[in-house]
Amino acid sequence: MPEQFYPFLLGAAFMAYLQASISYQLLFALRRPRYGRWGTIGLAAGIAVHTAALLVAWLESGRPVFGVGANTLAYYAWLTVAIYLVLEFVLRAKALGAIVAPFACLSLLGAILLPRQVSETLRPFAGNTWLAAHVGVSFASYAAFTVAAGSALLYLAQERQLKSRRWRAFVVNLPPLGTLEVLTYRLIEIGFVLLSATILVGGLVAQQAWDSYWSWEPKQTATLATWLVYLGYFLLRNVTRLSGGQTARCAVVGFAAILVSYLAVNLLLPGQHTFGLVERP
C-alpha cells in the first residue's frame, strides 16, 4: 500500500520545489517581496511532502532508505532544502534560494526517473548499519557542500558587481560579502567533517565486504580527490589567507569534484559504488 504513495509524494514535492524555483528566480529578476514569500512557501510545502515520502519509503522497507539507488538523490535533495531553509530563517536572506531550489528540483527529478534498486554487489549488505551510516553521512556532506558552493557563487557574483562599480539592482537582495564568506566557510567545515567520516566508515564497510579497507576503486579515488580539494580550501583560507574571491573559487571547484564523483563515477563507471545504471540486471 505505502509504496504506491512514494512516487506520487515525490512528484508532489518536485512540483512544489519547481514552483519555489520559479518564485526565487522572479524575486531575483523583479525584486518583489511577495515572490520571496511564495518561494519559501513552496520549499516549506515541498519539504513537508518530501519528508512524508521518505517516511513512506522507510515504512515500506523497515529501515531508513537513503542508501538505495536513486533514493540517495531524494535524500540528498531533502537535506539540501532543509539546510537552506534553516539558513534562510537565520540569515533572513533569500538570494541563495535562486540557486538551491532549482538544484533540489533537479536532484528530485533524478530520484523520480532513475531506477531504485540496489546494485548486485551491495545486495547482501542491504541491512548493514555501517553501510547505512556511510551513505547517510556522505550525502549529508554533499548537501552541505552544495549549499556552500551556492553561497560561494553568490560571493563571486556580488564581488564582481561591487568591483565593476556598476551598481545594479542585482546586488540589492544579496547578503553582504563578509556574511557569505563566513557562511561558505562554516558549511565547508561541516561538510569536511562529514566527508572525513564517510571515508572512515566506508573503509570499515569495505573491510567487512571485500576484506580491504582501501582498494583505489574509482569512487574511493574520486572521493579522496574531493577531500583534498577541500583540505586545500582550508589551507588557502586559514594559512595563506588568500582573498575571499579566491577561496570562493576553490569552494566551487570542490563542488565540481563532487558532481564528477557522483555523476560520472556512481552512475557511469563500473565499480562497487555503481547504482545500477550500467549493470542493471
Give contact residues for other proteins (rule: CB under 8 A).
Answer: 31, 33, 158, 162-163, 165-169, 171-172, 174-179, 237, 241-246
Residue 47 contacts residue 74 (beta carbons within 8 Å): no
- From CA 171, how far away is CA 173, in angstroms rounded? 6
- From CA 43, how far away is CA 18, in angstroms rounded? 9
- From CA 143, how far away is CA 74, in angstroms rounded? 11
Taking the complex as a whole, how short is the minimal distance between the CB of residue 173 and other proteins, in angstroms? Answer: 10
Of 167 and 210, the one with the shorter C-beta distance to other proteins is: 167
Task: Report in angstroms the alpha-carbon separations of 105 from 94, 125, 215.
Answer: 17, 30, 34
Q: What is the DSSP letter of 57?
A: H
- From CA 262, how far away is CA 145, in angstroms rounded? 13
Taking the complex as a whole, how short is the minimal distance between the CB of residue 241 and other proteins, in angstroms? Answer: 4
For residue 191, give the H/E element and its range: helix 177-210
Taking the complex as a whole, how short is the minimal distance between the CB of residue 177 and other proteins, in angstroms? Answer: 5
Taking the complex as a whole, how short is the minimal distance between the CB of residue 25 and other proteins, in angstroms? Answer: 18
Grid cell for residue 143: 548537501
Taking the complex as a whole, how short is the minimal distance between the CB of residue 157 and other proteins, in angstroms? Answer: 12
Of 110 and 245, the one with the shorter C-beta distance to other proteins is: 245
Task: Report in angstroms the alpha-carbon separations of 4 from 52, 53, 100, 151.
Answer: 13, 10, 28, 37
Taking the complex as a whole, how short is the minimal distance between the CB of residue 33 and other proteins, in angstroms? Answer: 7
Taking the complex as a whole, how short is the minimal distance between the CB of residue 37 and other proteins, in angstroms? Answer: 11
Helices 71-91 + 97-113 axis angle, to 10: 160
Place of cell 541491512: 127
Of 72 and 151, the one with the shorter C-beta distance to other proteins is: 151
